[in-house]
Amino acid sequence: MAFIGSNLLSIPIIVVASEGDELTPVGALLTTLVLDGTLIATALLFAGMIRRPKAWHFGLRATRLWGAVGWSALAYLAYIAFAAIYVVTVGEPAEQTTADDVGADEGGLALLNAGLLFVVLAPIGEEFFFRGFLYRTLRSRFRVLPAALFAGAVFGSIHVFTGLEAVPILGGLGVILCLLYEKTGSLYPCIALHVVNNTLAYGATTDAGAAEALAFGVPMLAACFLLPRFLHRSSPALP
């Protein structure tokens, strides 16, 4: 429902903010804002049907720093291993050009838009919905592995337009992010790991390079480190 609604809301933007068959950089940014905003609004709406939602209900809470660092590092190593096994057994996915498609290779405002889209907006919106809402909802009914597999499969499937071959790899990342959430009890390590992955991918697959990618990634990682310590120090334990 969230994806259908966001796609319908995006139609006017696609019509107005397109040049030929491609979205303009501003159109791509607005479309992403609609998508991620719809995901967050959907999570808040359904959670509000049960009780008044609070930040910690979605995992926006503090966690032990070094435990989170350790589990995050292990999670990323597991993702790298999974991706390597997939490449060896199935084949290397086609190179994703999504960032360049929205104008990252043009520099200027287009580069800023692409960085905001991939390194800032996508990790926040997708983690809030898929880990903070969908996975937590599934965990109220199922054990860890079935819940993580289902949430990961849905997470991978929404990236089909970035390249069908990449869907299984991103689905695997989605499962690993669910397990990271399970181990830390906080959404911040998941957002941070998502930021790291998107920063590396953004820097490697665009002409912008690593410096521009880090300009977005480093402040996001700093926010994931600082915000839970200043905003959520008194959050209760997750049920």
Give the integer Cα–Cα distance in Å for 160 and 162: 5
- Span 30-60, pLDDT tens digits: 777 778 888 888 899 888 888 889 888 999 9
C-alpha closest to that of 216 among 79, 111, 107: 111
The predicted-structure confidence for 65-107, as pLDDT tens digits, reads as follows 899 999 999 999 999 999 999 989 887 765 655 555 555 555 5
pLDDT score recorded for residue 221: 95
DSSP result, 148-175:
HHHHHHHHHHTTGGG-GGGHHHHHHHHH
10 pLDDT more than 70: no
The predicted model gives 206-229 an average pLDDT of 84
Token match 């966001």: residue? 6
d(CA 68, CA 190): 9
For 93, phi then psi, to 5°, come to -60, 155
- pLDDT per residue over 128-179, tens digit each? 999 999 999 999 999 999 999 999 999 999 888 777 878 999 999 999 999 9
What's residue 15's pLDDT?
A: 37
Is 18's pLDDT higher than 60? no
Q: pTM for the whole thing?
A: 0.86
> What is the Cα–Cα distance from 178 to 55, expressed in whole angstroms?
18
pLDDT band at 112 (very low <50, low <70, confident <90, very high): low
Kindly tell me if the per-residue pLDDT of 14 is higher than 70: no
Taking only Cα atoms into account, the Rg of the chain, rounded to an integer number of angstroms, comes to: 18
If you ran DSSP here, which 8-state letter would residue 237 be given?
A: P
Whole-angstrom distance, CA of residue 230 vs CA of residue 228:
6
Least confident of 58-67, 171-180, 188-197: 58-67
> Do 169 and 199 touch, CB atoms closer than 8 A?
no
Bridge pairing between strands 22-23 and 18-19: antiparallel
Q: Which residue has the higher pLDDT, 68 or 207?
A: 68
The model's confidence at residue 111, banded by pLDDT at 50, 70 and 90, is low
- Give dist(CA 194, CA 221) in Å, integer: 10
